[in-house]
C-alpha cells in the first residue's frame, strides 16, 4: 500500500448556541470532511437552514463554509491488493461483493441516525444529528462570546 494525498473539502460551521431563555451564547465550531465540493456545499446549506430554524442558535456565515484541503490516504494497485491487505479485518467486505456499495452505506447511515439523539436534545454535544446529518465530535478552541441583538 502506498500513501498519497487526496483532495478533500472541509465544511466548517461556526455557530453560537444559547440555552433556552438566555440572551448570551458561546461560539462553537465543528468540521466535517467530504470528498466532493458539491456534497460539502449541500451539507452546509442544509445545516444552515436547520440551524436558522432554532431560536437559540446564531450561525456565523462569515466563518462557515467549505474549503478545499488534502488528506493522506492509502492507495492500492488493484482490487486484489486491497482485498489481500484487508482480508483479516473483522467485517471487511470487498467492494462490489454482497451488495456493498451505496445502498449499504445509506442503510448504515440510517441505522446510526436512528440511534442518535438530535443536537437540540443533547444541547449541541456531539455525536448528534440534525435532520439527516450526523454531527461528529470535534475540537474547538474558540471561546468568543456572542450576544443576539
Tell me the three state secondary structure of residue 7.
Answer: strand
Domain count, the chain: 1
Distances (CA, A) of 86 to 1, 3, 4, 6, 72: 11, 16, 18, 21, 18
- Locate 134 and state its grid cell: 450526523
What is the reported pTM? 0.53
CB neighbour burial string for 94-126, b if at least 16 within 10 angstroms, e if fewer: eeeeeeeeeeeeeeeeeeeeeebeebbeeebee
Q: What mean pLDDT do residues 66-95 have?
A: 86
Ranges 5-14, 22-31, 103-112, most confident: 5-14
Which residue range(s) make up the domain with 125? Answer: 2-147
CA 123 – CA 20 distance, rounded (Å): 10
Amino acid at each position: 500500500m502506498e500513501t498519497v494525498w487526496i483532495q478533500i473539502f472541509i465544511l466548517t460551521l461556526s455557530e453560537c448556541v444559547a440555552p433556552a431563555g438566555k440572551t448570551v451564547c458561546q461560539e462553537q465550531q465543528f468540521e466535517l470532511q467530504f470528498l466532493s465540493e458539491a456534497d460539502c456545499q449541500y451539507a452546509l446549506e442544509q445545516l444552515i437552514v436547520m440551524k436558522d430554524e432554532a431560536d437559540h442558535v446564531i450561525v456565523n456565515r462569515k466563518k462557515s463554509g467549505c474549503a478545499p484541503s488534502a488528506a493522506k490516504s492509502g492507495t492500492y494497485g488493484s482490487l486484489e491488493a486491497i482485498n489481500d491487505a484487508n482480508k483479516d479485518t473483522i467485517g471487511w467486505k470487498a467492494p462490489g461483493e454482497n451488495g456493498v456499495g451505496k445502498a449499504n452505506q445509506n442503510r448504515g447511515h440510517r441505522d446510526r441516525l436512528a440511534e442518535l439523539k438530535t443536537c437540540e436534545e443533547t444541547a449541541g454535544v456531539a455525536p448528534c444529528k440534525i435532520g439527516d446529518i450526523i454531527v461528529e465530535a470535534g475540537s474547538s478552541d474558540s471561546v468568543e462570546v456572542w450576544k443576539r441583538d
